[in-house]
Amino acid sequence: MAAGTCRTDVRYRVRGLRDCLNVDDFRTLARRRLPAPIFHYVDGAAESEHTYRRSLLAWDEIGMAHNALVDVAAVDTATTVLGQRIAMPLLLSPTGTARLYHWRGELAVARACAAAGTFYGVSMGSTFSLEEIAAAADGPKLFQLYVFRDRGLSIELIERCKGAGYAAVCLTVDTPVPGMRERDLRTGMTVPPAFGWKTLLDFAAHPAWTLGLLRGGRLRMGNLENRAEGRQDITTLARFLGGQLDPSVTWEDARRLVEAWGGPFAVKGILSVADARRAVEIGASAIIVSNHGGRQFDAGITPIEMLPRIADAVGGQIEIILDGGIRRGMHVLKALALGATACAMGRPHVFGLAAGGEAGVRQLLALLHAEIRRNMILMGCATIDAVSRSMITNDRIAGYPIHKGDLGMAAV
Ligand SMILES: Cc1cc2nc3c(=O)[nH]c(=O)nc-3n(C[C@H](O)[C@H](O)[C@H](O)COP(=O)(O)O)c2cc1C
C-alpha cells in the first residue's frame, strides 16, 4: 500500500537508490528486490488491513499553519528521548528477522542508525544476538521484549541488555497472540522460506537476495539460541517464540520488568487514555502509542487520532512516542504538534534495508531528517519545542470529530 506521495503526471521508474526520493520509492525498490512472500510479510497487516490503511491516510486530515517572519536561520532538530540526546525526533521501531531483507540484517540497521544519530529499536526476534548488534555500532539502542510464559527468560534478556550497554528497554503489550495476516497465508510465507517449485522460481527471479541469504549462513534467532529444546534452527526457535507469547500477562508483570531494568523503560502498544495512565502508575518512562502498524488488531483505531487525548491526559508525566504510518517528515511534525515527544517507524526502514542494505537505511534516514528540517524552516520553528498545537488548523482527525478541548481550543 502506497501513501505519502502525490499523483503527478511525471512517469518514472525506480531502478536503484539514486531514484528514491521518498518512502514509497524505497517500497517500490524493496518490492522489486524481495521474493513476493517476504515483501508481503513486511507490507501486509491484519485481517482486512483496514487499520493499516487508515494509519497511512489519517495524516491528510490534519492541517497546519506556519508562523511567518520567524528567524529560522539556525534550526535544531535534536531532542531528548529515553534519556538520550538524538539528532531528530524519529526512531526506528523494532522489526524482527532482518536477515530476511538483507544479509547484513540488524548489523546494517544499527550502523545506519548510529550514523543518523538516532535510536535503533532492536526486536527480540532479531537474527543477530543483542550483543552482536550492540558491538556493531555505538548509537543508542532500545531492546524490545515480550513477557514470556517463562518469566525468567524476560529477566535474563534484561540482564543481557544491561551487560551489552542498551540505553532503554521496551515492552510490547499488543501481542497476546499473533495477528491474522491473510497475505502470508495466500503467499505461503514461512520462516525460513519453504522450498517448493514456486519458491525456487521466486528465488531464481531474485538472485541477489538469494545469494545474500546463502552468504549470511544459517538463519538464526540470535537471542533465543539454546532456549528451545532440540535443533537450534530458526523454524524451531520461531515456533518456540510463538509458544512463549502469554495471553495471561498483566500490568503487574510489566511493573516487575520496569523494576528489574531500573532505567528508561517504554510500553509499546498503548491506544487508550486508561492504559496510558496505567503506564505512568507502573513507573514507565515512555509510552509508544501504536497499533503495531495494523498487524495485530484490525479495530480501525489509528495512533494519531488517539494521540491528542492521550497527550492531554498524561503529557508531562511520561514521554509519548507515536508509532505507525509515519512516511514523511511532515507526519513527524504533525504528531509533535498533537503532543508526541518523538515518532517511530517500522516498515519504511525495512524497505530501506531491502532496497540497499546499510546504504539504503542511511539514505532513508537522511531523507526524512532533511524533510523534518526543511518543514521546520517552512513552519517558522527553530526548535522542536516550537512546534505547537496552536498551529493545527482543523478539529477533525482522521474523519473523527474530536472534542474541541483536545486541540486546546475553547469548548463550544
Ligand atoms: C516486518 C515487521 C516486523 C515487526 N516486528 C516487530 C517486533 O518484533 N516487535 C514489535 O514490538 N513490533 C514489531 N513490528 C511492529 C513495529 O515495531 C511498528 O509498531 C510498526 O511497524 C509501525 O508501523 P509502520 O510500519 O507503519 O511504521 C514489526 C513490524 C513489521 C513491519
State in Å: Cα 373 to ligand 1 middle: 25
Task: Compare 178 and 3 and report the one with higher pLDDT.
Answer: 178
Q: Which atom of ligand 1 is nearest to the CA of 268?
A: 11
Cα separation values, 121 from 141, 266, 268, 323, 326, Å: 6, 11, 11, 12, 15
Give the SS3 label for residue 46. coil
**For residue 120, how far is its CA from the centre of ligand 1 (angstroms)?**
13
Ligand 1 contact, 356 CB (< 6 A): no
Place of cell 527471479: 205
**Extents of the domains making up the chain:** 17-182+241-397
* Residue 291 in contact with ligand 1 by CB distance below 6 A: no
Ligand 1 centroid to residue 23 C-alpha, Å? 16
DSSP string, 342-387: EEEESHHHHHHHHHHHHHHHHHHHHHHHHHHHHHHHHHT-SBGGG-
Q: Own/partner pairs for 24-28, CB < 8 Å, 24+ apart?
A: 24/327, 26/348, 26/351, 26/352, 26/355, 26/360, 26/364, 27/2, 27/347, 27/348, 27/351
pLDDT tens profile 377-405: 999 999 999 999 889 987 655 334 444 44
Task: Examine the residue annotation and report whether 206 is marked as an active-site residue of this protein.
Answer: no
Contact status, residue 221 vs residue 234, Cβ threshold 8 Å? yes
Q: Cell numbers of 116, please?
A: 543518523
Confidence of residue 410 (pLDDT cuts 50, 70, 90): very low
Q: Could you read off the pLDDT of 136-153 as tens digits, one per residue?
A: 999 999 999 998 888 899
For the stretch 268-318, pLDDT in tens is 999 999 999 999 999 999 999 999 999 999 998 899 999 999 999 999 999
Indicate which residue's Cα is closest to atom 4 of ligand 1. Answer: 95
Top-level class of domain 17-182+241-397: alpha beta
Whether 125 and 241 have beta carbons less than 8 Å apart is answered as: yes
**pTM of the model as a whole:** 0.93
